[in-house]
Amino acid sequence: MTTQETIELFDKYVIANYGRLPRVITKGEGCYLYDADGNKILDMFPGWAVSGLGHCHPKVVEALRKQAGELLHIDNTFYSEPQGVLAKLLSERAFGGKCFFCNSGAEANEAALKLARLHTAQEKYKFITAEGSFHGRTFATVTATAQPKYHEGFLPLLPGFIYVPFNDIAALESAFSDEVAAVMVEPIQGEGGINVASSEYLQAIRRLCDENGAIMILDEVQTGIGRTGKWFAYQHFDVEPDIITMAKALGGGVAIGAMMAKAEIAASLVPGKHASTFGGNCLACAAGVAVIEAIEEDNLLENASEMGRYAKEKLEQSKQKHHIIDNVRGIGLMIGVQLTSPGKDIVDKCLENGLRINCTSGTVLRFMPAMVATKAQIDQAVEILDAVLSASA
């Protein structure tokens, strides 16, 4: 099919709830995408952070082929090996908790919120979340998402959510009460513009949760599975949450989400309280296992740290050349370039020149290369961005 033919199918048959670029992507390999018109694109935002190992990582593809030949799906009436193995691998790389599997980030957060309610006393029904957060699009998670633009058209939202400014300990303290069931924040806000939590902030959440019998939930849907150079971003901050949620990169491109909770809290999720038909299916879990093994076998945590440092250094050099860049921030391969004016045109021009990046929160360019990225690819990306910035200055 031509690009035009595919777009016509969408116009007729697919709900137009996304602002799509007029390109049809037909193939992905590592850090590159190919479109139906024969263009090759350097992808520095692969799959909106889903393709953390790059597109179609051979070890993930192989694991999927193998699993597909054995069993695609078995419902949670039974036990299945991939789900158990993935839970063990995740538990050992975090704080030793137990896992519930689902299919997306929003579902993982939804499970975390429900578990927090179940595990705490009945009068505790409030949740504290941070301004600029993004937690998903289901009713509970969009309510947790403390950005008015995502709420428009959906009022009234779920009751009980309290929004506080991010990284503001005093605001957190005054929002707390013994009615709070949980605090949920991202250790680095992704959609909110790559805003990194301070250690003091996360530690204050820990302390206030402990003092008030509340649960500390970290949304690691975007930050988790190695992107920051550690398995989970919280591991940079000398703090241990009660629950983490993950999704995006966990399946290397296959839909999967997970919530991990400390065993004592997880015990409250008894049969009948929560479930997911597809959650923990063999195919998705086999992909998750392959992702974790590939990260270890290929030393990709180290590569993420090293390439993250390198990319930040290169972008800092760009900042010297372009006044539109205000600052560069982030950890590992989760990098934001704060501009002094809107970034959408820049992102569009980069794509015309063969580079995919993203713009979030209006003025923040998001670089989230795959963990397999090389220096040469980062050089190429920064060169294209430099050229675009020079041309539009």
Ligand X SMILES: *Cc1c(COP(=O)(O)O)cnc(C)c1O
- Residue of 230, 248, 312, 314 marked active site: 248
By CB under 6 A, name the one of 28, 136, 280, 330 that touches ligand X.
Answer: 136
- Residues 269 and 114: their CA atoms lie apart, in Å, by 9
196 lines the binding site for ligand X (CB under 6 A): no
Q: Which residues between 214 and 233 bind ligand X (CB under 6 A)?
A: 219, 221-222
- Within 10 angstroms of residue 34's Cβ, the number of other Cβ atoms is 15
Distance CA 130, CA 133 (A): 6
H runs (alpha helix) in the chain: 3-13, 58-68, 81-93, 105-119, 139-144, 169-175, 199-212, 263-266, 282-297, 300-321, 344-352, 375-392
219 is catalytic: yes
Give the bridge partners for 195, in sequence order.
189
Q: Does 144 bind ligand X (CB under 6 A)?
A: no
Rounded to the nearest whole angstrom, what is the least distance from the CB of residue 50 to ligand X in the complex? 8
For 312, what's the count of Cα atoms within 13 Å in the CB-facing half-sphere? 17
SS3 216: strand
Least distance CB 323 / ligand X (angstroms): 30
Query: Does position 28 bind ligand X by CB under 6 A?
Result: no
247 counts as binding ligand X under rule CB under 6 A: yes
> Total residues at the site for ligand X (CB under 6 A)?
15
CB of 69: closest distance to ligand X in angstroms?
28
Which element (helix H / strand E) includes 326? strand 325-331
Give catalytic status of residue 248 as yes or no.
yes
CB neighbour list of residue 59: distance below 8 Å, 6 or more residues apart = 290, 293, 294, 297
33, 106, 249, 334: which one binds ligand X (CB under 6 A): 106
For residue 234 the two structure tokens come to: 């919280």
If one asks whether residue 366 binds ligand X (CB under 6 A), the answer comes out as no
How near is the Cβ of 134 to ligand X at its closest, in Å?
5
* Contact residue for ligand X among 59, 119, 126, 135 (CB under 6 A): 135
> 27, 59 in Cβ contact below 8 A?
no
Catalytic residue flag (residue 35): no
- 34's tokens: 């190919």
CB-based closest residue to ligand X: 105
For residue 142, the minimal CB distance to ligand X (Å) is 10
242 binds ligand X (CB under 6 A): no
Q: 106 or 325: whose CB is closer to ligand X? A: 106
Q: Is 382 in the site for ligand X (CB under 6 A)?
A: no
Candidates 101-109, 267-275, 280-288, 340-348: pick the segment binding ligand X (CB under 6 A).
101-109
Question: Is position 280 an interface residue for ligand X (rule: CB under 6 A)?
Answer: no
**Candidate ranges 35-43, 73-81, 186-194, 290-298; the one touching ligand X (CB under 6 A):** 186-194
Q: Which is nearer to ligand X, 192 or 343 (CB)?
A: 192
Q: Is 319 helix (H, G, I), strand (E, B) or coil?
A: helix
Strand order in the sheet with 32-35: 25-29, 32-35, 40-43, 355-356
The 8-class DSSP code of residue 124 comes to: -
Of the candidates 253, 232, 226, 138, the residue with the CA atom closest to the CA atom of residue 186: 232
Name which of 138 and 268 has its Cβ closer to ligand X.
138
Of 100, 101, 134, 237, the active-site residue reads 134
- The residue among 43 and 186 lying less far from ligand X, judged by its C-beta, is 186
Contacts with ligand X, residue ranges (CB under 6 A)? 104-106, 109, 134-136, 186, 190-191, 219, 221-222, 247-248
Instruction: Please identify every residue annotated as catalytic.
Output: 134, 219, 248
